[in-house]
Amino acid sequence: MKWELFEKWMEKREKAIADPESASAESVFRVENNSDTKRQLTEDPDSKEWNDALLKNISTDIFLQEAYRIMSDLILLQKKN
């Protein structure tokens, strides 16, 4: 383990825990609607408001982010073997 990299990782993690809103800007994946849903949302402002909140919640969910990282690592490990 490289100590410098670990310290950087730890600082980033502590900042994310202290301020969850800033961590949302560093999402590991992008959440967006498909083209049909986007078209439907232009017709209904209430649905668009609800959908925007849902997309924000999904993109900032730390459990989904961690699951995504685990699955990405698993895929990379399987490719190496």
- Position 21 scores a pLDDT of 57
Query: What tens digit of pLDDT does each residue of 14-31 get?
Result: 776 676 555 545 678 899
DSSP state of 38: H
- Position 28 scores a pLDDT of 83
Task: Please report the DSSP string for 45-79 in residue order.
Answer: HHHHHHHHHHHHHHHH-HHHHHHHHHHHHHHHHHH
Q: How many domains does the chain have?
A: 1
Query: What tens digit of pLDDT does each residue of 33-76 get?
Result: 999 999 999 999 999 999 999 999 999 999 999 999 999 999 98
* pTM higher than the cut 0.75: no
On the question of pLDDT at 4 being above 90, the answer is no
Domain that holds residue 75: 3-80
